[in-house]
Chains A and B, each alone.
Chain A
Amino acid sequence: MDLHAIAFWSFSALAVISAFGVVFAKNIVYNILSLIAALIAVSGLFFNLGAELLGALQILIYAVAIVVFYVLVISTVPEYKGQSVDPKYMLISIPTGFAIFLELSYVSIYGAWASSTGIFTPEVMQDVGNIKAVSSMLFTKYLFPFEVASLILLVAMIGAILLGRKEQVMEENQ
């Protein structure tokens, strides 16, 4: 057992246990707490693989910047509403969840694993470092998808502002 194997197994175990917590915890604040734990454990896995940039961004963007909004909303939900479980939603959620599981396993077996060899060998990574490798790919080969993604985010932002404004105007009229 070397250090990498120990780190891999402990972070994976933490990630899986916290993922169970996200699904099965009764209190919604505990759900969100387990989600944070799972995201941080996954970032530990990235560090273990030598992808420091991904690991650091995983903590900064997923575990903090995005989840903090969930926490803001969920911590203001009254406790009795968070605890109610309505079995009729399971009719939709269980088939949907199973379909997503099948799709993910298909993609990871035939898509991601088949093309797991990138153009950067470990020696090149040692030489140029994470950040330069990621940014050189992002701004050459993947420039168009990157720009499209930023356009979608811009549209979402404008839409959110529009929705927020409308409510305010209605409140003032009343």
Chain B
Amino acid sequence: MKELILISIGIGIKSLIFIIGMFLLAAYLTLIERKFAGHVQQRPGPLHVGFHGLLQPIADALKVLTKEDIVPNFVDKYLFYLASLMAFVPAIMILAVIPFGEPINIFGYEIKPYISDVNVGLILALAFGSISIYGVIFAGWASNSKYPMIGGLRKAAVLIGYEVALGFALVGPIMLAGTFSLREIVEAQQGFFGAFIWYQPLAFIVFLFSILAETGRTPFDVQEAEAELVAGYNTEYSGMKFGLFPLAEWYIATFVLSAIAVILFFGGWNGPHIFGPISPYIWFLAKLFLVFMFLLWVHWTLPRYRVDQITEIAWKVMLPLTFINIFITAIIVIIKG
């Protein structure tokens, strides 16, 4: 019984730190995105709240939280409320399996910078990531309105295609590392040329497309294409219920999937120890930030694809590419033993 209470308290504190940290981080990721988007489009972005808009996320959060929460008359109320949580909770649950570094010793206690290290971490991350599509589909259905419905169905069609490609793209790095545990995959990539990006470029390209499709970022943001669908699946939402959708999709999901990309292809927290004991964390966050910025750059540069073109790319280009990758990787793994 005592052991049970200790375990629960330990996991509870750790989860709270991860969730609160993720909230604050996501709030500031909005500022980074808006500044970046501004400079891409040759305008300054947020300037007035705080120094160069540094307090803008706090002002935004206050505005969204104190806004009048309008629920339209003909929506399915229970699902309408549930859908915003269904999109948000699984996205944050992926954090449970992502390792942010090696265990460290502070004051004699061993502190592990991850919540759990199950040996099927990668499959679980994929599973949680794909549950969150129900949030989008049910939001579209519960709104009882044309455009949200179309947005939800589009998102489902895109995700069915890219889930498959994403799953097969991950097979290459798994075959090279010989394990599903994210921590052991990082340990398998030692040195600059040990990173799997050098051996799995095809898998990385497919993975990049799948991140964009899964998080609904621009070349693939058909589910909320504002020129055609008003705002897509979240048209009828307002207040914080509205805020949760982009927070989950654009920031938390993108952040977490970038973390998985760093772990799988860029060697995770491996790097020269030039910052002393905290260098693994600095390397991990620096790589993560670079991948995230790359995704933002794609988002704010490219125009949008049509929905049939997106699913066509998924089934006719991405899936065969992953099969070729698996075939070549299997041959090389067998030859090298």
Interface residue ranges, A against B (CB under 8 Å): 1-3, 27, 29-30, 33, 36, 40, 52-53, 55-57, 59-60, 63-65, 68-69, 71-72, 75-76, 129-131
Contacts and interface: CB of A to CB of B under 8 A. Distances in A.
A64 B123 contact: no
Contacts of B119: 52, 129-131
B232 interface: no
Given A53-B120, A65-B163, 4 more contacts: A29-B141, A60-B167, A68-B134, A75-B153
A33 B127 contact: no
Given A72-B156, A131-B180, A36 B134 contact: yes
B163 A3 contact: no
Nearest to B132: A64
A64 B130 contact: yes
Range, interface on chain B: 20 to 34
Contact of B127 (A3, A56, A68, A130): A56
B153 A72 contact: yes
A59 B126 CA distance: 10
Contacts of B160: 65, 68-69
B110 to A, nearest CB: 21
Contacts, number: 74
25 contacts: A2-B4, A29-B76, A52-B118, A52-B124, A53-B123, A56-B120, A56-B124, A57-B123, A59-B128, A59-B131, A60-B126, A60-B127, A60-B130, A64-B130, A65-B160, A68-B137, A68-B159, A68-B160, A71-B134, A71-B137, A71-B138, A75-B140, A75-B141, A75-B149, A129-B119
A29 B131 CA distance: 16
A60 B130 CA distance: 7
Given A36-B134, A131-B119, A64 B4 contact: no
Contact of B137 (A56, A63, A75): A75
B79 interface: yes
A104 B152 CA distance: 37
Given A59-B131, A64-B163, A71 B156 contact: yes
A50 to B, nearest CB: 10
Nearest to B157: A72
Nearest to A6: B4
A56 B131 CA distance: 12
Interface in B26-80: 76, 79
A30 to B, nearest CB: 8
Contacts of B124: 52, 56, 59
A59 to B, nearest CB: 4
Contacts of B137: 68, 71-72, 75
Nearest to B78: A30
B141 A68 contact: no
B274 interface: no
Contacts of A64: 127, 130-131, 133, 163
B138 A33 contact: yes
Contacts of A71: 134, 137-138, 156
B213 to A, nearest CB: 15
B4 A29 contact: no
A68 B153 contact: no
A75 B76 CA distance: 13
A128 B60 CA distance: 50
B152 A63 contact: no
A32 B126 CA distance: 21
The list of the 3 closest CB pairs from A to B, nearest first, reads A59-B127, A60-B127, A56-B123
Interface string B89-130: 000000000000000000000000000001110011011101
B7 interface: yes
B125 to A, nearest CB: 9
B176 to A, nearest CB: 15
Interface string B148-165: 010011001101100100
Contacts of A29: 76, 79, 138, 141
B318 to A, nearest CB: 17
Nearest to A63: B131
Given A3-B7, A33-B138, A60 B156 contact: no
Interface in B212-255: none
Contact of A76 (B123, B138, B153): B153
Contacts of A56: 120, 123-124, 127
A100 B180 CA distance: 38
Contacts of B149: 75
